[in-house]
Amino acid sequence: MTKIRTLIVDDENLSRKKIRTLLERETDIEIVGECSNGPKAVSAIQKLSPDLIFLDIQMPGMDGFRVLETIGNERMPAVIFVTAYDQYALRAFDVHALDYLLKPFDRVRFQTALQRVREHSQRTRNNDLNQRLQDLIKDMKAERKYLDRLVIKSGGRVFFLKVEEIDWIDAADNYVHLHVGHESHLLRETMNGLEARLDPEKFLRIHRSTIVNIERIKELRPSFHGEYTVILRNGTQLTLSRGHRDKLLELLGNQF
């Protein structure tokens, strides 16, 4: 029996574990690896050449669409998208992609996706699949819009804040602090939720509780155990954790 060599890509450990558990019961599936972010996924796809990837959309630094753009047509495996956010994406996937899974999904829905994979593997449709995936990427890039302003409520006032004015953001339970110059504004939003709505070319997650405006970064200083101190133009010092270092390396072209 020819097995379908499968790679799991998701930044959430519980999500990867759920997919892995469901796949382990399938005799025609071989799990060749797992990745927790986009850059690692690109490397794994190039190295392992899987037949199938379960690909999360919303990942910090490099989302699922950028992974596909980086891989290109020639190395493109079959893709099942995994998402919890973008309703437009869900509609688009039905037209362009092999399938999608909407979190949280159950075993029945998962089996439906696998059946589509099996049907696909029985036919030679690689060129058609590549074209549909490229069409999907084009559609999503045209439609995807990031935040350009936020509505802030403070002391009975309601005002608009341009996103580009934010220096950095830190977490406060189910809120975030938006640091703008000498001011700080509290917004009811989670870090993951806000990060998904910010342009990843302009805002970077450098720590599980910190997002920074890339234009505000002045200097990076090596710290301890692979971490760096990020110094902003206003003198603020933040920590770049090891887990988020690869994203900044990618952004800077691996120059340090």
CATH 2.40.50.1020-classified regions of the chain: 149-251
Both tokens of 169, joined, read 């953001």
Give the CATH architecture of domain 4-143: 3-Layer(aba) Sandwich (3.40)
**Single pTM value for the model:** 0.53
Per-residue pLDDT of the chain (256 residues; tens, 9 = 90+): 678 999 999 999 999 999 999 999 899 999 999 999 999 999 999 999 999 999 988 887 788 888 888 888 777 888 898 887 665 455 445 435 678 788 888 999 999 999 988 888 776 445 666 677 777 777 666 556 788 888 888 777 788 889 999 999 999 888 999 999 989 999 888 888 888 888 888 899 999 899 999 999 998 888 877 788 999 999 999 999 887 877 776 766 655 5
Residue 237 Ramachandran class (φ > 0 left, ψ -120 to 50 alpha, else beta): beta
Place of tokens 């990031």: 146
Q: CA 60, CA 252: separation in Å to the nearest integer?
A: 16
Q: CA 77, CA 94: separation in Å to the nearest integer?
A: 17
User: Of 1.10.4080.10, 2.40.10.10, 3.30.565.10, 2.40.50.1020, which CATH number belongs to 149-251?
Assistant: 2.40.50.1020
Residue pair 234/179 in contact (Cβ under 8 Å)? The answer is: no
Residue 3, beta-bridge partner list: none
